Structure 1
């Protein structure tokens, strides 16, 4: 969610970001000057994360969440240093106690084996089948009112009834360590300069540029915006929505992708009627969001699973490079994490 008013020019820029890999592309799409875009995108990134969305499956990785029983010792151990394939760790409060929510990207087909390598008592493993992020767009559920981005709840039923959210199958892309490091930096800020990436990884800018053009760009899905987890006026919540069928789940993902509170949403592999949504909802909007979800004819059940403790968040970012050995993915480096 944005916490500053946007001018009409800034709003046009916001709409251009998901489809633009460079400042120049943002400027061209929004019909604004490059110098203006340079300044304003950086300002925007102080209010919301601007992230590069890479196709993990094309790399042989599987976007996955783990829900585990909370144990202070395990939490401290996992917080002590970055863990291969683990992106984020959060403490959540369900109706029956505390849990750990782990966002990860283990090797495709090895999600369960990965989970049981960790020093955790795993309760659930959620492998994503389809997923959605906040992609600002004009029309649909998004409306621009007096400089604010708001949700047009009156359009929810018509938006959720259209099965527009589709996923294709991409050709697998073979990556190497340098590609993974570029993706890591781009996920932190989609417009990170390649010269800055080159300095961080101690490689020449020419080599980094070559890898970016030949490998990384082909993995790009879009840029997405992610609300800051630390905004005190928000409630971080985990929702479970049960749809009438998988087709309606895709429609729900499309609708959720237009809500500016969305952090992540996905259907469960093997249970595609189930949508899990992770949101940073303004406190005064939580009841409205819940009421809107249960009002949909295609939603059989809307359940608030847990509240998330923002102070507990540990963000490692994209750490797949730590599990990349001799040109392939490996779980061997995780053995030290299983006492």
Structure 2
């Protein structure tokens, strides 16, 4: 992983990425030249996605994971078709066998209707009331040795007392977005530093129009730039039960500084429950488990499943396929499912 071998200068650049919209912004924050910043960000980006992270709930979308029984036909269909709202699907191994984990952003309030439309046997639906991603920043959990970043899981209790970084909490008022906004966002989620002129070429719109939509519609929704690994090593899913919502949110905040975090969410309707997806090495699991259980107020921490990195499909943002007359609808999903499973 990119963070297991990183120089002091590269670490400064990594920290600057979170709040920067351009290579020039990174250079200014990291105190290096723009050309050097561009070179180093691209180098770091060889093993990680630098994503433009927005408040989906303010768009009327809901970050959701659907845990379901394994279906080879569903996995095969997703490799050929893009379904509205479905970002990707992974094969996972739980205590009672093989399953699928579907990552999606369905319309707000329609998460369970969305899940049960899928041609799979649904076992659980995890809807994020609050969500955390890896946003580079300083933390007591982290130690930069000069050549790598180490996570000190035994510092978790102390880390919870630190100031809290931003979470995706749907605190903004609802904002209307259109298909062009979503296509621009799709490209920005692949590379948060991709130029608007390049995006214009890809979405077949003028740079002026792309710039207007980005500035007026997407930038107000921006939380930060987050980082996700391109290659999963030993990804695991943890479930943590806290004794209060406040503690659950503190856990999300602390975890948002951990480079191995893929995603963490406090569940809608059960906000004291936190689902954590981490990309780790096998020998880290006991340290993670001990660190979580060392926190006063954590009632339970359990390893739910292992994600199989060798089998899965990822399409990224597909919400633009769900717009119907300018509003979110599940009808396009139903039509897409009929087409995908007729063949």
- TM exceeds 0.5? yes
Moved more, 99-108 or 250-259: 250-259
SS at the partner of 2:18? helix
Consecutive unaligned residues in structure 2, runs of 5 or more: none
1:210 aligns with 2:209: no
* Aligned position for 1:302: 301
**C-alpha distance after superposition, 1:144-189 (max 9, x if no partner):** 1131011133421111245735647102221111100010000011
* Aligned position for 2:138: 138
Kept in 2, the 8 Å contact 1:227–1:262? The answer is no
| Equivalent-residue separation in structure 1 for 2:98 and 2:65 (angstroms) | 16
SS at the partner of 1:19? coil
| Equivalent-residue separation in structure 2 for 1:86 and 1:169 (angstroms) | 24
Kept in 2, the 8 Å contact 1:229–1:236? The answer is no
RMSD: 1.6
**Cα pair distance change 1:161/1:139, threshold 3 Å:** closer
**Cα pair distance change 1:23/1:163, threshold 3 Å:** closer
Q: Pairwise mapping of residues 37-76 of structure 1 onto structure 2 (< 5 A)?
A: 37-76=37-76
* Aligned position for 2:280: 281
Q: Pairwise mapping of residues 213-224 of structure 1 onto structure 2 (< 5 A)?
A: 213-224=215-226
* Aligned position for 2:13: 13
Q: Structure 1 length normalisation: TM-score?
A: 0.95
SS at the partner of 1:252? helix
SS at the partner of 2:29? helix
* Aligned position for 1:171: 173
1:236 aligns with 2:238: no
**How far did 1:78 drift?**
2.5
| Equivalent-residue separation in structure 2 for 1:71 and 1:168 (angstroms) | 33
**Cα pair distance change 1:305/1:312, threshold 3 Å:** same
Q: Pairwise mapping of residues 14-33 of structure 1 onto structure 2 (< 5 A)?
A: 14-33=14-33
Q: Structure 2 length normalisation: TM-score?
A: 0.94
Consecutive unaligned residues in structure 1, runs of 5 or more: none
- Total equivalences in the alignment: 336
**How far did 1:250 drift?**
0.6
Kept in 1, the 8 Å contact 2:93–2:305? The answer is yes
**How far did 1:10 drift?**
1.2
Kept in 1, the 8 Å contact 2:8–2:146? The answer is no
**Cα pair distance change 1:142/1:18, threshold 3 Å:** same
**C-alpha distance after superposition, 1:88-121 (max 9, x if no partner):** 1001010001111001000111111111221111
* Aligned position for 1:187: 189
* Aligned position for 1:313: 312
* Aligned position for 1:257: 256
Kept in 1, the 8 Å contact 2:154–2:291? The answer is no
Moved more, 260-269 or 72-81: 72-81
